[in-house]
Amino acid sequence: MGLGFRIGLELVVAVFVGVAIGWAIDRWLGTRPWGLLVFLFLGVGAGMTNVYRVVKGLGMAVGYKGEGRGGTEPGKGERGKGEWDDED
Amino acid sequence: MAAPEASPLHQFSIDRIAEMHLGRLDLSYTNSALLMTIAAGLITALMVAATRNASLVPGRLQSLAEMLYDFVAKMIDDNVGEEGRQYFPFLFTLFMFILFGNLLGMIPYSFTFTSHIVVTFALAATVFIGVTLIGVIRHGFHFLSLFVPHGVPKALLLLLVPIELLSYCIRPFTLSIRLFANMVAGHTMLVIFAGFVAPLGLFFFAPIAMDAALVLLEFLVAVLQAYVFTILSCLYLRDAIHLH
């Protein structure tokens, strides 16, 4: 239930959501199997991006970018980077 | 779906307390709804009681309420910044509701409403839709730049933008599954170990010791998951307000 759980969750959920979207698009547009294929790989890609961000400590949240914590002025409110990573 | 009495999953079954139907909609008052009402009532009672006789030197109840307030306020200040202050009421309510839901579930024979994906997904979807709307209202069309990574060759954008978009859409799912899975796993584990007590005969104390340790862990998880849910909501909000 720590960091490992989070990484597994990000990977699996991303793939599932990708497949679900692809499947829905196929049903809607009748483009089987292309939607499923494309979105499966996009899902895998999104999952890996998220895992990469989590591990790098950049991404406490999905889609978090850049080194500067935008909202925080430097020097104020430093939550150590590790503080998040140990717990989940 | 109703699991047999002895099943470790029986604790999650929903029982109707008062039947209520609106057309074809089943709006029955269930044990889940009862626990939510209790949680909301307790939170309101705590905050009202703590602030009624507010004094400069806080009493026990008042300092508890002030600590909770400071905790969420600091979390918003650190992660969202000044602009996040106006969303404090929502985030504080969210934190308290999940915290009380998790902690009330730790009372023996009670029910953990955060162990149902419907509940956690409704909370996560509210956060997701709200945050997206805040982003769109604040930035309009420019909000879409959230999905364009910096310093990437133009050709790669064709691949990266859909991936970013998808990883944005996954947020409500990971947010809700994290909370729900933690609660279900912990509570199921407690009952499974408790089920070993009688069959083990002489060694009955081993699972009891395990359960005692697990209960402590579960209290930790209950508080931690409320914190994680709220801080991730803060970070999503930060993204919507500051874009990058």
pLDDT digits (tens, 9 = 90+) for B187-244: 999 999 999 988 888 999 999 999 999 999 999 999 999 999 998 899 889 989 988 6
Q: Which residues of B touch A63 (CB under 8 A)?
A: 146, 164, 167-168, 171, 239
Comparing B54 with B161, which gets the higher pLDDT? B161
Note whether A50 contacts B159, CB cutoff 8 Å: no
Q: Which residues pair with B25 in a beta bridge?
A: B22
Residue B127, token pair as written in the block: 């956060």
Per-residue confidence band for B150, with pLDDT thresholds at 50, 70 and 90: confident
Beta bridge partners of B26: B21
DSSP codes joined into one string, A28-78: HH--TTHHHHHHHHHHHHHHHHHHHHHHHTS-SSTT--SSS-TTSPTTSS-
Average pLDDT over residues A45-57: 83
Residue B149 in contact with partner chain A when CB distance is under 8 A: yes
Q: Among A18, A39, A66, whose Cβ lies nearest the Cβ of B244?
A: A66
Using CA atoms, how far residue B118 sits from B82, B92, B124, B180, B236, in Å, is: 33, 21, 10, 9, 21
Could you give the percent of chain B with pLDDT greater than 90? 61
Provide mean pLDDT across the span A11-21.
92
Which residues in chain A touch residue B82, judged by CB atoms under 8 angstroms apart? 71
Token code pair at residue A11: 């990977």
Q: What are the DSSP calls for B14-79, one per residue?
A: --EEE--EETTEE--EEHHHHHHHHHHHHHHHHHHHHHHT--SS--HHHHHHHHHHHHHHHHHHHH
Residues A3-28 have a mean pLDDT of: 89
Is the distance from CB of B226 to CB of B99 less than 8 angstroms? yes
Q: Using CA coordinates, name the residue in chain B closest to A14.
A: B170
Q: Partners of B70 in the beta sheet?
A: none
Q: What's the pLDDT band for A57 if we cut at 50, 70, 90?
A: low
- Residue A58 has what pLDDT? 54
User: Which residues in chain B have Cβ-Cβ distances shorter than 8 Å to A88?
Assistant: 178, 224, 228
A25/B39 Cα distance (integer angstroms): 41
- Region of residue B110 (phi > 0: left; psi between -120 and 50: alpha; otherwise: beta): beta
Confidence (pTM)? 0.84
Going by pLDDT thresholds of 50, 70 and 90, the confidence category of residue A13 is very high
- Among chain A residues, the shortest Cα distance to B227 is held by A88
User: Angle, nearest 10°, between helix axes B88-104 and B31-52?
Assistant: 120
Size of interface A-B (CB pairs under 8 A): 106
Mean pLDDT of B108-117: 93
Q: Please tell me the distance from the alpha carbon of residue B112 to that of residue B12, in angstroms, as a whole number.
A: 7
Decide: helix, strand or coil at residue B163: helix
How many Å apart are CA B72 and CA B67, to the nearest integer? Answer: 9
Which DSSP category does B223 fall into?
A: H
Closest listed residue to residue B214, CA positions, set B184, B187, B242, B176:
B187
CB A61 within 8 A of CB B232: yes
